[in-house]
Amino acid sequence: MARLEVAHYMKVCSTREKGRAFYPTLLELARSAGGDELVVSFKDVEYVTPSFLHETLAKLLADSPPVVSAIGIERLRDFPAQQLAAILKGEQLDVELKQTGPESYRMVALAA
């Protein structure tokens, strides 16, 4: 299982543009996971927006076939997670987001 500490790269994850710029870093780490679960931690990140999550984590799982089987998300506040879930549903992406604990979530690709 590969692990990514986002705070090592940025403290504010606030726009689609930042998400698009960060995506290659995320993709490289995900590929090194060999298809296993990737854990992404937002510990010590000041701000995360749903649009950033959409351009990074959701995109990674929406690719066909997905690069990883699942993404564990740590230290993510409720608001961006709830908004991301609404985006996934609204766009009818085959990606599911479930809360697994306080500030913890798991995303999985429903179709492989």
Cβ(56)–Cβ(22) below 8 Å? yes
pLDDT over threshold 90, residue 24: yes
Structure tokens at 111: 């179709």
Range of the domain at 100: 2-109
- 74-111 confidence digits (pLDDT tens): 999 999 999 999 988 888 878 889 999 999 999 998 86
Number of domains in the chain: 1
Number of H helices, E strands in the chain: 4, 7
CB-facing half-sphere around the CA of 20: CA atoms within 13 A: 3
pLDDT digits (tens, 9 = 90+) for 39-81: 999 999 999 999 999 999 998 888 767 788 899 999 999 999 9
Structural contact between residues 71 and 37, judged by C-beta atoms closer than 8 angstroms: yes
What pTM, to 2 d.p., does this model score? 0.91
Domain of residue 30, CATH code: 3.30.1370
